Amino acid sequence: QKEVEQNSGPLSVPEGAIASLNCTYSDRGSQSFFWYRQYSGKSPELIMSIYSNGDKEDGRFTAQLNKASQYVSLLIRDSQPSDSATYLCAVRGRGSTLGRLYFGRGTQLTVWP
Amino acid sequence: EAGVAQSPRYKIIEKRQSVAFWCNPISGHATLYWYQQILGQGPKLLIQFQNNGVVDDSQLPKDRFSAERLKGVDSTLKIQPAKLEDSAVYLCASSSIRGSETYNEQFFGPGTRLTVL
């Protein structure tokens, strides 16, 4: 069983700060990684995908991947109250489970004004 | 582009009753997934279809859950009979086939919240 671990939080940051969300995974051969945002009572919304080591930036979001350390993170710059949500890390399976996403339990982020 | 559609949005049933959920994927998306999300956890894949064929149903409790995608477009997930522990949100997702499956992103519908009493 592949595992994806996230700090459950809650993580609380002030408006304008950088929020840092972390995720580790157990399958060293994993190739595809995703961050989803889930507002309370809503479904997961894809915000970032990353496949290569290093950083990938999209607006205020930066995903970081380190395959050697089996670690993926999401940085949210200039955090806004509207960023308050649960952030789910997902890792795609391999081989016979190539289509399957393995999710962590999520980190709850609160951005206070 | 319309997103993934699901119905109903909410369902309350008694244990041992049956229930069915419907999903229509994003137009042109050949791959369809059903996930179960229990409160406080991340989604867990139940079944994956590519066109109208099953690719992965290894985590589907086949004694009570069934799913079909007869024409390769919309899909139905059924639970019969339901148990208390089936209370969860059932999420449908879809992805396109372009190049390597490794890079295909999955997009979720709004989900169906099931409560089993």
For each of chain B's 117 residues, which pLDDT tens digit applies? 789 999 999 999 999 999 999 999 999 899 999 999 999 999 999 999 998 899 999 999 999 999 999 888 999 999 999 999 999 999 999 998 766 666 689 999 999 999 999
Residue-wise pLDDT for B64-93, tens only, equals 999 999 888 999 999 999 999 999 999 999
pLDDT for the residue B15:
96
Could you tell me the pLDDT band of residue A9, with boundaries at 50, 70 and 90? confident
Name every residue in B having a CB less than 8 A away from some CB of A: 31, 33, 40-45, 48, 50, 55-56, 58, 89, 91, 95, 101-103, 105-111
> Distance between CA B87 and CA B51 in Å, rounded?
28
Start-to-end CA span in chain A (Å): 40
> Distance between CA A46 and CA B108 in Å, rounded?
8
pLDDT value at A53 more than 80: yes
φ, ψ dihedrals at A21, nearest 5°: -115, 135
pLDDT for the residue B99:
62
B14: tokens are 């008694």
Question: Closest chain A residue to B104 measured between Cα atoms?
Answer: A99
Asked whether the CA dihedral B66, A34, B96, B56 is positive or negative, the reply is negative
Say which residues have a Cβ less than 8 Å from residue B15's Cβ, sequence separation at least 6.
B81, B82, B83, B84, B116, B117
Residue type, B41: Q
Using alpha carbons, select from B46, B56, B51 the residue that is nearest to residue B91.
B46
Could you tell me the pLDDT band of residue A108, with boundaries at 50, 70 and 90? very high
Residue B102 and residue A32: Cβ atoms within 8 Å? yes
SS3 B117: coil
Q: Choosing among B9, B95, B105, which should be mutated to test the A contact, i.e. which has the most A CBs within 10 A?
A: B105
Q: Which residues pair with A86 in a beta bridge?
A: A38, A108
Q: What is the mean pLDDT of chain A?
A: 94
Q: Which is it for strands B10-13 and B112-116: parallel, antiparallel or unpaired? A: parallel
Residue A43 and residue B41: Cβ atoms within 8 Å? no
> Distance between CA B71 and CA B88 in Å, rounded?
27
Could you tell me the pLDDT band of residue A7, with boundaries at 50, 70 and 90? confident
Residue-wise pLDDT for A61-82, tens only, equals 999 999 999 999 999 999 999 9
B75 in Cβ contact with B91 (< 8 Å)? no
